[in-house]
Amino acid sequence: MMEYFDIHPEIKDAMQQLLPVVVIESTVWVHGLPEEYSIPALVECQKIIRQEGAIPAIVGISDGRIKIGLGAEDISAMIDRKRARKVNLRDIPQCIQKREDGATTVSATLFMAHRMGLPLVVTGGMGGVHRQAEKTFDISADLTTLATTPVALVTSGIKSILNIPATLEYMETAAIPVIGYRTDSFPTFYCSSSNLPVPERMDEVDEIAGILRIRQKIGMKQGVLIANPVPQEYSLGETFLEEVVEKSLFEAQEMEISGKDVTPFLLERLHTLTSGKTIQANIALLKENAALGARLAKYLYY
Ligand code: PSU
Ligand code: MN
C-alpha cells in the first residue's frame, strides 16, 4: 500500500511517537475558497494546530502520489498548476494512475486518514443530501464514507446549500453519531444555529474523546460528526442566507451544473452575492475547527 504514499517525515515521526496529528482535507483550499484567501487561511490554521500542541497533516494527491503532510506551499503550487481535480473517494486510483494532481474531499481524506491509522479529520463543512436529491440523487460521498469509516470529523455542520433535515435523517439511518460541541442546535456552516436540534450535545473535549475511545474499543465502524458552530460574530442571518442560497441554486439549475461541480459553483456564487461575508465566515469556522480538532487529537491515540 505504501508504494503510493509519501508521508512527510514529521508526520512519520509524530505517528511513531504517538503525538497528536490533525488531518486536513485539501478541496476546501483548492476549490472552496479564492486563492488570495485560501493560502493565508491555511497557514493560519496550521499555526493554530501547532499552538494547540498538535501536528497538522494536509492530505492530497500530487503528480499521482498520495501525500500525507503537504505544506501550504504545495497547495499553492497545486492551485497555480490549475489542474488539480476534485477527488472523491472513488477517484483516488484514477488520479494516481494518470499521475494527476488531486485535491481530496472529505470522503477521500477520511479514507486516507483511516488507512494511516489517524483518528481525526478537520474540514469546514462536509457534504450532505442536496436539496431536490429526490430528483437528482445528489448525495455527497462524504456521508456514505463517514458511515463506513471510523474517523472523527470536525466540521461546522453541513452547508446551508443542502437539505439539512434530510442529511440529519440520513445520518440517523447510517448510524453516524452527531455531537454538537457546546450547541443545542445543529449548525449549518455559515449559520451558527438552525431550528434543528443536535442529537447529542457535549461541552467538554474529553467527553467527546471518551465517546470516540468507547467506539474504538467496542469496534464500531462508523465515523463521528462533531459539529462546531461558526463563531457568533461571523454567523450570517438565516433569512438573508436562505435568499442568496435560493438564488444560487436557481442559477445552478439554469446553467445545468451537476455532479461534483455543484458545490464549488454554489460556494463561489454565495461568496459574490454576500460580498464576501461567506468567505469571512468560512475562514473563521475553519480556524475554529482546526483549534477544536487539535484539542481533541491530544486525547486520542492510535
Ligand atoms: N467545506 C468547505 N469548503 C469546501 C468543502 C467543504 O468549507 O469546499 C468541500 C469538501 O471537500 C467536501 C466537498 O468534501 O466540499 C463536498 O463536495 P460534494 O458536495 O460535491 O460531495
Ligand atoms: Mn454531489
Q: Is 27 in the pocket of ligand 1 (CB under 6 A)?
A: yes
Spacing, Cα 146 to ligand 2 middle (Å): 15
- 76-102 pLDDT, tens digit per residue, is 999 999 899 999 999 999 999 999 999
Label residue 159 by pLDDT band (50, 70, 90).
confident
The closest of 176, 74, 65, 69 to 129, measured between CA atoms, is 176
| Active-site option among 67, 86, 159, 260 | 159
Fold of 2-235+277-301: Indigoidine synthase fold (3.40.1790)
How high does pLDDT run on average in the chain? 95
Q: CA of 285: how far to CAs of 53, 154, 163, 176, 199, in Å?
A: 19, 11, 20, 22, 21
**C-alpha closest to that of 87 among 43, 10, 145:** 145
* Mean pLDDT, residues 4-15: 97
Residue 288 Cβ inside 6 Å of ligand 1? The answer reads: no
Check residue 302 and give its pLDDT.
61
C-alpha cell at 77: 503550487
Overall average pLDDT of the 227-239 stretch:
95
Name the residue at shortest CA distance from atom 5 of ligand 1: 28
Report how far ligand 2's centroid is from the alpha carbon of 50 (Å). 33
Q: Is 104's C-beta closer than 6 angstroms to any atom of ligand 1?
A: no
260 ligand 1 Cβ < 6 A: yes
pLDDT higher than 80, residue 1: no
- Average the pLDDT over 110-114 and give the result: 98
Atom of ligand 1 nearest to the CA of 125: 1
Average pLDDT of the residues in 114-124? 97
Assign 2 a pLDDT band (cuts: 50, 70, 90). Answer: confident
Q: Which ligand does the CA of 26 lie closest to? A: 1
CB of 124 sitting under 6 A from ligand 1: yes
Confidence (pLDDT) at 73? 95
Are 124 and 287 within 8 A, CB to CB?
A: no
Dihedral pair phi/psi, residue 270, rounded to 5°: -65, -40
Q: Where are the domains of the chain?
A: 2-235+277-301
Nearest ligand 1 atom to alpha carbon 123: 1
Q: Which of 25, 52, 100, 288 is catalytic?
A: 25
Whether 86 is catalytic is no
What average pLDDT score do residues 1-23 get? Answer: 95
Write phi, then psi, for 278 (nearest 5 degrees): -70, -30
**Nearest ligand, CA of residue 258?**
2
265 φ/ψ angles, rounded to the nearest 5 degrees:
-60, -50
Complete DSSP assignment for 157-221: BB-TTB-HHHHHHHHHHTT--EEEES-SB--BTTBS--SSB-SEEE--HHHHHHHHHHHHHHT--
Q: Which amino acid is at 143?
A: L
Rounded to whole angstroms, what are the CA distances from 240 to 4, 47, 160, 236? 46, 33, 11, 7
Residue 257 — φ and ψ, nearest 5°?
A: -85, 135
Q: Which atom of ligand 1 is nearest to the CA of 140?
A: 21
Query: Ligand 2 centroid vs 259 CA: distance in angstroms?
Result: 5
State how far the alpha carbon of 120 is from the alpha carbons of 14, 196, 275, 288, in Å: 14, 25, 33, 15
By the CB criterion, residues less than 5 angstroms from ion ligand 2 are: 138
Model confidence at 283: pLDDT above 90: yes
Mean pLDDT of the region 189-203: 94
The verdict on whether 159 is a catalytic residue reads yes
Mean pLDDT of 182-191: 95
